[in-house]
Structure 1
Amino acid sequence: MRLTHWLNALRSPVGAVSATLLSAFIVLALIAPIIWGDAAEQTDPSALSQGPSAEHFLGTDGLGRDIWMRVLVATRTSLGLAVLATLIAVSIGTLLGVLPAVLGRRAGRLAVALVNLAVAFPALLLALFFAVIFGIGAKGAVLAIGIAGAPSFARLVQTNVAAVAGRDFVSAARVAGVGRVRLVFRHLLPNVGEPLVVNATVMAGGALLAFAGLSFLGIGVQPPTYDWGRLLGEGLSRIYLNPAAALAPGVAVVLAGLAFTLLGETIAQVVGLRTTARRGHLGVLPTLRRREPDEPTTTQPGSNGASVYDGVSTQHAAASTDGSTVRPDDAVLVARDLTVSFPGPRGWTHPVDGVDLTVHRGETVGIVGESGSGKSLTALAVARLAPEEAVVRASTLNFLGTSLPDRSDAELRRLLGTSMAMVFQDPMTSFNPSMRVGRQLAEVTRTHEGHSRRAAWDRAVDRLRKVRVPAAERRAAQYPHEFSGGMRQRAMIGMGLMSSPDLVIADEPTTALDVTVQRQVLRLLREVQRESGAAVVLISHDIAVVSQMCERIVVMYSGRVVEELPVDRLAEAAHPYTRALLGSVPDLATDVDRPLATIPGRPPDPGARPPGCAFAPRCAFADDTCTAPPVLEDVAPRQRAACWHPQSGPVAPSPLAGAEPAVDVPTRTGGQP
């Protein structure tokens, strides 16, 4: 398929011209110095500064040397130095471009600022500046042009890498414990390589022109070496006597630059076809998918009276007390007062605010809530995948008895990479589109257990079989776009099973799947849990799906836990929000002649959360009491709710459908974090 695209592109007028020109210049660069090198250096005192003749096609220079031969021989030097300068620019630009993804937040911002500052200066002025620093000559000119071209290429790399760094397959690699350098070269650069190659070819044409300009000014190639720029400078002094002496090297520069530019256009045609084909299989891949689309991360003004977060970095997310004193013996995950905050010009935004979560070994816990309730951000904070600008704190954050904030990055990669697995929301973005599925699964085992390439591959095939991917050995050698949505989700679960996870976090794993495949994936999760004994956290906005899968349900609203109860108590939910969610789920007994039950209004913005109960503006039972924040407390055995007016009795169709709020609860903005 790729060969067909290339052949079709080369048959186009642009592709044919670029291929012809570039092939001709490459052949000349290889053979011209061998065939005409000595003749081009031969002086003829009897033929000084002659015009075109039968013996000398373009005439001779001041020493009687044949200009035509010298133009042909100069092809190797001109193209070679331009390509070398381009390689320097691409290498330095790529290094600067990936630094923000490798370094920490502050160092990454400094790298971005330096690149932006360098881009503000014209490349030609930078080239002249560096040429003076490095000295006159070919070496100094190559370094000057290469370094001057690096900032613009670095900006391109930064932009493309930032667009890929937030996708689910990158987050999955981080959960698997892949190091930063390996992450860059395995998952980031391969997925931005196509536009970089296109721009590198265009940059080569610019470097050729810049090099000719420096040589023309006398600060590039020095005698006895010569290139097209130097020949152009020598011929310009006699342009009225012999125009061909100046026009010939100039035409060579233009044609070579045109060849590189047209080559870039040809590659762009192929890249465009491949991108279209990939989107046809994968859908348009969203950017910045390190958080769920409904999680607000804009720095809105507002506060809810949380403690100060100054100086706390995302890399060491939670400030913990002695977790061993509060951790039950069978608890896999313990989080206390977990808060995720984003700084803003007028205050702090808290999409997750004081969440307590405990998951026991072998238990299945569901986290439900509307879009924007903080479900996915809670899971990402636990897995140390919160956005870089986020500030994460908790009084306790323990995983398998280990206090996560007290461990180094290397220790956390080993712990989380082998004991925690994540199944992301969209199976279309869960895998690196440039790597074969089997290779991605094998990467987990090779990273943490040191298996050989063959042993890791065999295990990957075995895991695919375990999650019921048909023809596992053949499928392992395929790319993600060759998988269906259901198979991609199964393969994602298989990736989590490459080690022996104690906790599987499934972030809305069935949202993008049809009902039949959804049921298969949920059944597979249940079987995996039964065989491995792992705990499962299932995140969903569909309370009906969670009730079929989980033993205990945690209901979140506006970044807080509003109710926690076992599934067998779901019909006796106490919080009006939980009861509204249940009442909004249609079933076979729903009257088709009546409108579906809905919850009026919409969740509050995290930056403008009401000072008391966040659900009060939408609640039919709210009164003046609800202006004070409710506390999560027991309302029944094994059931807690944060509500001033907990309800009792079986859940009926939503009492909130079409109802107006009983009281208008004021909102509070601004404040200190």
Structure 2
Amino acid sequence: MQRWRSVLRTPVGLTATLSTGAVLVLAVIAPILWTDDANAIDTGNILAGPSADHWAGTDNLGRDILFRTLVATRLSVELALAATAIAVVVGLLLGAAAFLLGRRSGRLVSAGINIAVAFPGILLALFFAVVFGVGATGAVLAIGFAGAPSMGRLTQTLVAGIAARDYVAAAQVAGVSRVRILVRHILPNVSEPLVVNATIGAGGALLSFAGLSFLGLGVQQPSYDWGRLLFDGVSSIYVNPASALAPGAAVLVAGLAFNLFGESVAKVFGVGAVGGIPTLAVSDAAPAADQAAVATPTHAVSDVVLDVRDLEVSFPGPHGPIRPVRGLTFAVRRGEAVGVVGESGSGKSLTALAISRLVDDLGRVDATRLELLGHDLRAADTRAQRQLLGTSLAMVFQDPMTSFNPTKRMGGQLAEVARHHQGMDRRSALARAVDRMRAVRIDDPEHRTHQYPHEFSGGMRQRAMIGMGLMGTPALIVADEPTTALDVTVQQQVLDLLAAIRAADDVALVLISHDVAVVGQVCDRVLVMYAGKIVEDLPAADLSAGARHPYTRALVAAVPDMDTDLSQPLAVIPGRPVDPADVPAGCAYAARCPLATAQCRTDEPPLTTDPAGRRVACWRAGEPIDIEIQDREIDLEEVEAS
């Protein structure tokens, strides 16, 4: 209301609001007050000019033009609003097609939108008017369909921006269908710019409808709107110019009022006519009736929570498939914490997305085995499988601010998980949310459930995100860089919380991080990834002193500690990570490795397992790295280039 008051204080805002309100009021009361006067025929006063009795003169039947213009307000506004509604609905369907159908099928719709937008709107309206026929109904459909492409383009842009957010991925993990995500979690967040553009579009529709009626393609006698009155008035313009001036002025004033009002609404919402707004983070799930369908695993029950064998993720490229993840094999057991480390682009997060079935439509996920609690994640997407992912897998994303809906209270967002997964009523689900907030050490959870995300600190939002994952009974938590956006103190609190949850409920944890020190502190076992492959798998206790792969040792050496000599340059890994589109032959790390030989550059080392169960992929695993050789490899020019 404060923003609206500030807009009303401006001359344009006040004028737009009053004029739009006047047009709408006139549309309601004019037919009630003046229909009889507008239809009264006076054959003795045909085509009369303006006078005290007829301020705008009369038409060819002696009917008062001013009264007819006032009465025509209702039909003109109704038809314009109907056409706008059609444009909005069809535009929403077109704009959401890429999200609902997937990228491949959505491309066809997008191409159609791009072609339609290239044509002027009036040409499209004339084309559709011919298709749908002459008359008010045909004109409404014509103008509605002509305005749909621009609305579709706007919707497509807004939906694409929001669909890339973490909360959408969280909803997909929770088992929400794309239609439900769109209706409940995306469209509410794009409503403001759509309302603004629909309001402005109503003014354009009003002008377009008047144009079609003026051309004889719109409203037909005996009905009349402003365009029809203008058409009739032009025929007698030389006898009575006011016969065309009155309906023309009405079209101009009403169209200008709607457009200015749309701009005022944009200022109230704080967005432009094609602007964006905050995003939504709500978890959801498939109906609880499907729980029985996932109760029986396809394999014998064991302590293996996640079983991954020969996992590959590929995307189409200009010269063939690009494989950011190349043949990963590992397992995570109940209660075990496995860390995944590596530089950016090594495939860590993409591995987590593949496990959670969140790789986008262009990506292809292949594996000899990919199972969660014995259930095959390669199977077709069904409600039962979404239910499995929603109850047994919890995702903790990097940025907690984009994981919650800024327009909804925290308690309601957590409670929604329990309502849909466990069939709880609203009261019981809210009580569960309070309990889970307390479990993740949020003070005064009864009060906090009624607050919005912006009222939580970064650490509290991250803990609430973990609490959302605990609304069910997860067997596996996948935490993708959960502490990156947090300061050191809060980071330790979140790590302690994850460790406590794992110990209390025997939950398996996959922790993805760039920070080798964090992984060594929290995890039992560490997977080191480079160029989409696991190059070493070793116990976390051996990470500092027992690593055998040169890349693992370089990662550890790059982390400063209390014994680091501050007078010397910090250790770095020379060169740059491998481009997934151009992986060299042999060992992918050979170009950066001080131990590399000719064999390393031609033959790819296999991932071998030693008697202790540790795995490493290196031809010279465990060999000491000569400090002099390493110093020669790392010079300032190469460091700056990397």
Give yes or no for TM over 0.5.
yes
Rounded Cα–Cα distance in structure 2 between residues aligned with 1:262 and 1:446: 44
Pair 1:414 & 2:387 matched: yes
| 3-state SS of 2:536 partner | strand
Is the contact between residue 583 and residue 654 of structure 1 (CA under 8 Å) also seen in structure 2?
A: no
Is the contact between residue 503 and residue 536 of structure 1 (CA under 8 Å) also seen in structure 2?
A: yes
Is the contact between residue 278 and residue 481 of structure 1 (CA under 8 Å) also seen in structure 2?
A: no
Paired residues for 1:557-568 under 5 Å: 557-568=530-541
Candidates 312, 319, 340, aligned match of 1:367: 340
Residue of structure 2 equivalent to 1:602: 576
**Counterpart amino acid of residue 18 in structure 1:** A
Rounded Cα–Cα distance in structure 2 between residues aligned with 1:477 and 1:222: 56
Residues 443 and 417 of structure 1: is their aligned pair in 2 closer, same or farther, counting only changes over 3 Å? same
Rounded Cα–Cα distance in structure 1 between residues aligned with 2:31 and 2:617: 84
Deviation at 1:635, TM superposition (A): 4.4
Rounded Cα–Cα distance in structure 2 between residues aligned with 1:442 and 1:119: 43
Is the contact between residue 579 and residue 654 of structure 1 (CA under 8 Å) also seen in structure 2?
A: no
Residue of structure 2 equivalent to 1:183: 181
Paired residues for 1:466-505 under 5 Å: 466-505=439-478
Residue of structure 2 equivalent to 1:631: 606
Pair 1:646 & 2:621 matched: yes
Residue of structure 2 equivalent to 1:219: 217
**Counterpart amino acid of residue 329 in structure 1:** S
Deviation at 1:353, TM superposition (A): 0.8
- The one-character-per-residue Cα deviations of 1:393-433 (angstroms, maximum 9, x if unpaired) are 11111110111123542221011010000000111211233
- The one-character-per-residue Cα deviations of 1:69-128 (angstroms, maximum 9, x if unpaired) are 111111111111100110111111112221222224433233323333333333222222
Deviation at 1:507, TM superposition (A): 0.1
| 3-state SS of 1:162 partner | helix
Candidates 503, 518, 529, aligned match of 1:556: 529
**Counterpart amino acid of residue 340 in structure 2:** I
Paired residues for 1:269-668 under 5 Å: 269-272=267-270, 329-570=302-543, 571-627=545-601, 628-635=603-610, 637-647=612-622, 656=630, 659=633
Moved over 6 A (4+): 651-655
Deviation at 1:660, TM superposition (A): 5.0
Pair 1:245 & 2:243 matched: yes
Rounded Cα–Cα distance in structure 2 between residues aligned with 1:263 and 1:478: 33
| 3-state SS of 1:572 partner | coil
Is the contact between residue 599 and residue 657 of structure 1 (CA under 8 Å) also seen in structure 2?
A: no
- The one-character-per-residue Cα deviations of 1:530-576 (angstroms, maximum 9, x if unpaired) are 22211000000000011110000000011110100001221210000
| 3-state SS of 1:405 partner | coil
Is the contact between residue 193 and residue 276 of structure 2 (CA under 8 Å) also seen in structure 1?
A: no
Is the contact between residue 210 and residue 228 of structure 2 (CA under 8 Å) also seen in structure 1?
A: yes
Is the contact between residue 348 and residue 512 of structure 2 (CA under 8 Å) also seen in structure 1?
A: yes
Q: Which moved more, 1:450-459 or 1:581-590?
A: 450-459
Is the contact between residue 97 and residue 109 of structure 2 (CA under 8 Å) also seen in structure 1?
A: yes
Deviation at 1:187, TM superposition (A): 1.2
**Counterpart amino acid of residue 196 in structure 2:** V
Residues 652 and 510 of structure 1: is their aligned pair in 2 closer, same or farther, counting only changes over 3 Å? farther
Rounded Cα–Cα distance in structure 1 between residues aligned with 2:422 and 2:627: 53
Is the contact between residue 557 and residue 571 of structure 2 (CA under 8 Å) also seen in structure 1?
A: yes
Rounded Cα–Cα distance in structure 2 between residues aligned with 1:328 and 1:629: 36
- The one-character-per-residue Cα deviations of 1:611-653 (angstroms, maximum 9, x if unpaired) are 111111111111101021011113461321111111257x999
Rounded Cα–Cα distance in structure 2 between residues aligned with 1:278 and 1:490: 28
Candidates 7, 10, 17, aligned match of 1:9: 7
Residue of structure 2 equivalent to 1:310: none
| 3-state SS of 2:581 partner | helix
Residue of structure 1 equivalent to 2:156: 158
Aligned residues: 617
Is the contact between residue 414 and residue 433 of structure 2 (CA under 8 Å) also seen in structure 1?
A: yes
| 3-state SS of 1:224 partner | coil
**Counterpart amino acid of residue 248 in structure 1:** A
Residues 536 and 234 of structure 1: is their aligned pair in 2 closer, same or farther, counting only changes over 3 Å? same
Rounded Cα–Cα distance in structure 2 between residues aligned with 1:76 and 1:653: 87
Deviation at 1:328, TM superposition (A): 8.6
Residues 439 and 652 of structure 1: is their aligned pair in 2 closer, same or farther, counting only changes over 3 Å? farther
Candidates 167, 174, 180, aligned match of 2:172: 174
Deviation at 1:523, TM superposition (A): 0.7
Q: Normalising to structure 1: TM-score of the pair?
A: 0.88
Pair 1:75 & 2:50 matched: no
Rounded Cα–Cα distance in structure 2 between residues aligned with 1:196 and 1:491: 31
Residue of structure 2 equivalent to 1:302: none
Rounded Cα–Cα distance in structure 1 between residues aligned with 2:599 and 2:375: 40
Deviation at 1:273, TM superposition (A): 6.5
| 3-state SS of 2:267 partner | helix
Residue of structure 2 equivalent to 1:303: none
Residues 98 and 603 of structure 1: is their aligned pair in 2 closer, same or farther, counting only changes over 3 Å? same
Is the contact between residue 332 and residue 338 of structure 2 (CA under 8 Å) also seen in structure 1?
A: yes
Gaps of 5+ in 1: 287-322, 662-673
Residue of structure 1 equivalent to 2:294: none
Residues 360 and 107 of structure 1: is their aligned pair in 2 closer, same or farther, counting only changes over 3 Å? same
Deviation at 1:331, TM superposition (A): 0.7
Deviation at 1:476, TM superposition (A): 2.1
Q: Which moved more, 1:418-427 or 1:145-154?
A: 145-154
Residue of structure 1 equivalent to 2:42: 44
Candidates 83, 100, 103, aligned match of 1:102: 100
Rounded Cα–Cα distance in structure 2 between residues aligned with 1:207 and 1:140: 14
Residue of structure 1 equivalent to 2:205: 207
Rounded Cα–Cα distance in structure 1 between residues aligned with 2:631 and 2:5: 61
Rounded Cα–Cα distance in structure 2 between residues aligned with 1:617 and 1:161: 42
Deviation at 1:23, TM superposition (A): 0.9
Is the contact between residue 41 and residue 65 of structure 1 (CA under 8 Å) also seen in structure 2?
A: yes
Residue of structure 2 equivalent to 1:667: none
Is the contact between residue 301 and residue 374 of structure 2 (CA under 8 Å) also seen in structure 1?
A: no
Deviation at 1:54, TM superposition (A): 1.2
| 3-state SS of 1:441 partner | helix
Rounded Cα–Cα distance in structure 2 between residues aligned with 1:357 and 1:549: 19
Deviation at 1:455, TM superposition (A): 2.1
**Counterpart amino acid of residue 644 in structure 1:** W
**Counterpart amino acid of residue 87 in structure 2:** A
Rounded Cα–Cα distance in structure 2 between residues aligned with 1:586 and 1:412: 44
Gaps of 5+ in 2: 281-296, 636-642
Candidates 102, 111, 114, aligned match of 1:113: 111
Rounded Cα–Cα distance in structure 2 between residues aligned with 1:394 and 1:242: 81
